């Protein structure tokens, strides 16, 4: 008979398929809400072993770091613990983490797509599979039951075990290490939906795609997805030392946003002097884009996430009939639009949020086929997870995406040690 300890130290592996009573986790509690370095703390908590028929328990080898758990740590704009309480979770804490690579250790009675022992990555889209809207074949991303695992749901990947819906598990690319595999799925699948999910404004061969934050998580994936579609990505970054990184991923060139100062909410259109100054900045930015392209072409798709600072410019430079697609408002939520550009040039301003199963699978296939570099910028230890989020919060993160080792005992491993 296999003996199971009550808890395993980090880096130790319980015998496959056995579940210890407790586990170590990076935990956020309401009384610690604030800067990430103080909000996260390692605690020993019960392993979430009570699986519903459609769930799986994954032993986490490595976890990807995303901006969403900066928001979770701050307790703003959403108190995620309140969200858990509303969903019937009385734990009183939040275990974040919306990207993982790991090994399936248990499955619910109805699971058929994965089995114990499978090496997987986890996408972060969860929804109520019994929701009549979902059952009717609609996009689950539009369902009221949609949640981001490890942000709006508890028991994410910053722990030895994570509880997920089995459909979230996708095959791990065998050529990647655990930490590389844990890095790209959230940002990559989000970028995939933004660029491929909104017909007729889907990325096509010959399109120009303007990518804000080209050296960040979303941006590094958007450049590569656009390149794979035969489009011409142009990246925006905040310093010239990021140019080479973006160009290596496939950007035709880069624009340094620090050379401009017209960012933020638009001045009112009746204030002619202020508006004129803004328009001068926006036109100069458009000219910088033409200089990179070597021709006077406007972007068919503008890939936005900074929000308040950038949306007015995104709408201004977008091609007639083109689309500004946005999935966040990192710099603020009040994006002001000059409607004249929107209606006269029939531009589309489209919100987008994560991805459905088909889009996550399609992105993962690009990773498995070696077409996407996961852009792992740095690997941290489990204890440093709060610190990684602090770097993001302060805008001091490395290029690409960060990951943390959870149960993988060292960097560089591609399978079971």
Residues that bind ligand NAP in the complex, under the rule CB under 6 A: 66-68, 186-187, 190, 212-213, 215-219, 237-238, 242, 257, 305-306, 309-310, 327-328, 330-331, 353-354, 392, 397
CB of 303: closest distance to ligand NAP in angstroms? 10
CB of 289: closest distance to ligand NAP in angstroms? 15
CB of 109: closest distance to ligand NAP in angstroms? 31
CB of 270: closest distance to ligand NAP in angstroms? 26
CB of 346: closest distance to ligand NAP in angstroms? 25
CB of 101: closest distance to ligand NAP in angstroms? 18
The nearer residue to ligand NAP, 59 or 67, going by C-beta atoms, is 67
CB of 45: closest distance to ligand NAP in angstroms? 25
CB of 83: closest distance to ligand NAP in angstroms? 15
Asked whether the beta carbons of 374 and 367 are under 8 A apart, the reply is yes
The nearer residue to ligand NAP, 160 or 397, going by C-beta atoms, is 397
Q: Is 276 exposed, middle or buried (0-12, 13-18, 19+ CB in 10 A)?
A: exposed
What CA–CA distances, in Å, run from 57 to 14, 48, 213, 242, 406?
13, 8, 34, 39, 15
Per DSSP, the residues of 38-100 read: HHEEEEEEE------TTEEEEEEEEEE--THHHHHHHT-S--HHHHHHHTT--S-EE---S-E
Asked whether the beta carbons of 323 and 350 are under 8 A apart, the reply is yes
How many residues in total does the chain contain? 417
Dist CA 231 CA 236 (whole Å): 16
The nearer residue to ligand NAP, 186 or 360, going by C-beta atoms, is 186
CB of 185: closest distance to ligand NAP in angstroms? 10
The nearer residue to ligand NAP, 48 or 64, going by C-beta atoms, is 64
Dist CA 170 CA 196 (whole Å): 20
Spatial neighbors of 220 by CB under 8 A, at least 6 apart, are: 187, 214, 245, 246, 249, 373, 375, 399, 400, 401
Dist CA 250 CA 194 (whole Å): 18
The nearer residue to ligand NAP, 216 or 267, going by C-beta atoms, is 216
Dist CA 96 CA 79 (whole Å): 13
Per DSSP, the residues of 138-190 read: --GGGSTT-EETTTTSSS-SSBSEEEEEGGGEEEPPTTS-HHHHHSSHHHHHH
The nearer residue to ligand NAP, 157 or 160, going by C-beta atoms, is 157
- Strand-pairing partners, residue 122, are 100, 169
- Strand-pairing partners, residue 253, are 234
Dist CA 57 CA 168 (whole Å): 11
Position of minimal CB gap to ligand NAP: 216
Helix, strand, coil percentages (3-state) for the chain, rounded to 5, are 30, 20, 45
The nearer residue to ligand NAP, 26 or 215, going by C-beta atoms, is 215
The nearer residue to ligand NAP, 20 or 398, going by C-beta atoms, is 398
CB of 253: closest distance to ligand NAP in angstroms? 15
The nearer residue to ligand NAP, 176 or 355, going by C-beta atoms, is 355
Dist CA 261 CA 285 (whole Å): 10
């Amino acid at each position: 008979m296999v003996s199971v300890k009550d808890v395993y130290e980090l880096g130790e592996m319980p015998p496959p398929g056995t579940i210890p009573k407790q586990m170590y986790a990076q935990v956020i509690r309401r009384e610690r809400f604030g800067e990430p370095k103080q909000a996260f703390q390692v605690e020993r908590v019960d392993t979430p072993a009570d699986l519903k028929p459609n769930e799986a328990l994954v032993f986490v080898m490595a976890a990807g770091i995303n901006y969403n758990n900066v928001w979770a740590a701050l307790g703003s704009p959403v108190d995620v613990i309140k969200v858990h309480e509303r969903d019937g979770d009385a734990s009183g804490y939040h275990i974040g983490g919306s990207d993982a690579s790991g090994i399936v250790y248990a499955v619910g009675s109805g699971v058929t797509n994965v089995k114990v022992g499978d090496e997987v990555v986890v996408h972060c889209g969860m929804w109520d599979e019994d929701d009549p809207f979902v059952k009717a074949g609609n996009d689950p991303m539009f369902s009221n039951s949609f949640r981001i695992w490890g942000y709006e749901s508890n028991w994410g990947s910053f722990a030895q075990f994570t509880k997920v819906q089995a459909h979230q598990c996708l095959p791990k690319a065998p050529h990647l290490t655990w930490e590389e595999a844990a890095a790209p799925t959230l940002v990559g699948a989000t970028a995939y939906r933004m660029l491929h999910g909104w017909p007729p404004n889907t990325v096509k061969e010959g399109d120009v795609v303007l990518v804000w934050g080209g050296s960040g998580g979303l941006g590094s994936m958007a450049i590569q997805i656009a390149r794979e579609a035969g489009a011409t990505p142009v990246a925006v970054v905040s310093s010239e030392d990021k140019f080479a990184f973006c160009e290596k991923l496939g950007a035709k060139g880069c624009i340094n946003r620090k050379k401009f100062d017209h960012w933020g909410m638009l001045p009112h259109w009746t204030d002619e002097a202020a508006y004129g100054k803004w328009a001068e900045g926006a036109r100069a930015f458009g000219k910088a884009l033409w200089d990179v392209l070597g021709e006077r072409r406007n972007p068919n798709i503008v890939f936005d996430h900074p929000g308040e600072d950038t949306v007015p410019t995104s709408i201004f430079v977008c091609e007639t009939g083109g689309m500004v697609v946005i999935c966040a408002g990192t710099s603020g939520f009040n994006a002001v639009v000059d409607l004249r550009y929107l209606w006269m040039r029939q531009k589309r301003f489209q919100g987008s949020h994560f991805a459905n199963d088909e889009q996550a699978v399609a992105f993962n296939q690009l990773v498995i086929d070696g077409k996407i570099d996961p852009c792992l910028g740095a690997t941290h230890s489990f204890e440093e997870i709060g610190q990684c989020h602090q770097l993001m919060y302060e805008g001091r993160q490395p290029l690409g995406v960060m990951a943390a080792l959870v149960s993988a005992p060292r960097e560089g491993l591609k399978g079971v040690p």
